[in-house]
Amino acid sequence: MKTINLIVPRGWHELDDKQLRYLFGLLADDYSSAEIRTLCLLRWCGLKVLYRQDNNFVLSFGSEEFMITVTEVTDAIEALKWLDEIPSFPVRLSRIGQYTALPSDFLSVPFEKYIYCDNLYQGYLHTKDDSLIDEIMKVLYPGWNSKGLPLERIATFYWFASLKQYFAKTFHHFFQQTGGPEANLLGNAKSIAQQVKDAMNAQIRALTKGDITKEKEVLAMDCWRALTELDAIARETEELYRKYNTK
């Protein structure tokens, strides 16, 4: 029996820009999870469907032709099940047009940019207003100033969502204390604008320790340094809370 070995990416981290653009294009066109994984399997493995015969498909792989059943397709796309999840590490298109992206993990990015993007991201979660994603793109791709294509907007959403998930794991004291940025905002009766404003001001106050003369310095801090400090403050607060509530 002839055997054809197919090699597929093992995770988001192995996808290049071309593969990401294809994937986000499928997401933008509202394909189902199974359809996306099937189409990605075909594209990334260099397979072409020639025709269907009952419940079987005849495919070509280079100069080879072979038949595969629907069950075999279902089994094969399980290797791409990870496409159904938000990336565990920030993943993004490295360029949009001529504009180069910021570091995917926001290392060395000013804290002010993170706060601004987070405000826009929270607003998008509540309103689904695509113009907010366009505003995020203007920050993430310095110099870019236009309306994003549907696939570029989805790529941007995935980038920031995966960044926040990554930060929640890395700075777990800070994000756990607030119940997670999304959970904290969604569970509050205040308006979204007021919630975002309160969250932003709380972070800045914690870093300046109430000294408003240090606000510019704080906003210019490296994002990772700022979040490290906030995480340390949250950890100390947790320890004090446990100490005085166990007496």
Domain boundary among 58, 84, 110: 84
What is the helix (H) or strand (E) element at residue 48, kind and residue range?
A: strand 47-53
In the chain, which residue ranges form alpha helices assigned H by DSSP? Answer: 17-28, 33-44, 70-76, 111-127, 130-140, 150-170, 172-177, 181-186, 192-208, 215-219, 223-245
Residues 198 and 124 in one domain: yes
Whether 210 and 119 share a structural domain: yes
Please check whether residues 126 and 213 belong to one and the same domain. Answer: yes
Q: Last residue of some domain: 47, 63, 84?
A: 84
One domain, residues 76 and 118: no
Q: Does residue 159 sit in the same domain as residue 131?
A: yes
Burial 205-221 (b: 16+ CB within 10 A, else e): ebbbeeeeeeeeebbeb
Residue-by-residue pLDDT tens, the chain, 247 positions? 567 778 899 999 999 999 999 999 999 999 999 999 999 999 999 999 999 988 899 999 888 888 889 998 999 999 999 999 999 999 999 999 999 999 999 999 999 999 899 989 988 988 999 999 999 999 999 999 999 999 999 999 999 999 999 999 999 888 774 444 444 333 343 444 455 455 555 666 666 665 556 667 677 889 999 889 888 887 877 777 677 766 5
Whether residue 41 sits in one domain with residue 107: no
Q: In terms of domains, do 159 and 135 share one?
A: yes
Of 84, 119, 135, the residue that ends a domain is: 84
Residue 6 forms part of a structural domain: no
Residues contacting 219, CB < 8 A, separation 6+: 110, 111, 112, 115, 204
Cβ-in-10-Å burial (0-12, 13-18, 19+) of 133 comes to buried
d(CA 196, CA 221): 20
Q: What's the pTM?
A: 0.83
Same-domain check for residues 218 and 120: yes
- Does 7 reside within a domain? no
Structural domain span for residue 160: 95-245
Q: Are residues 167 and 63 in the same domain?
A: no
In a domain, 1, yes or no: no
Residue 81 pLDDT: 96
Residues 69 and 138 in one domain: no
Specify if 211 maps to a domain: yes
Domain count, the chain: 2
Identify whether residues 108 and 216 lie together within a single domain.
Answer: yes
Helix 17-28 to helix 150-170 angle (10° resolution) is 110
188, part of any domain: yes
Q: Are residues 139 and 240 in the same domain?
A: yes
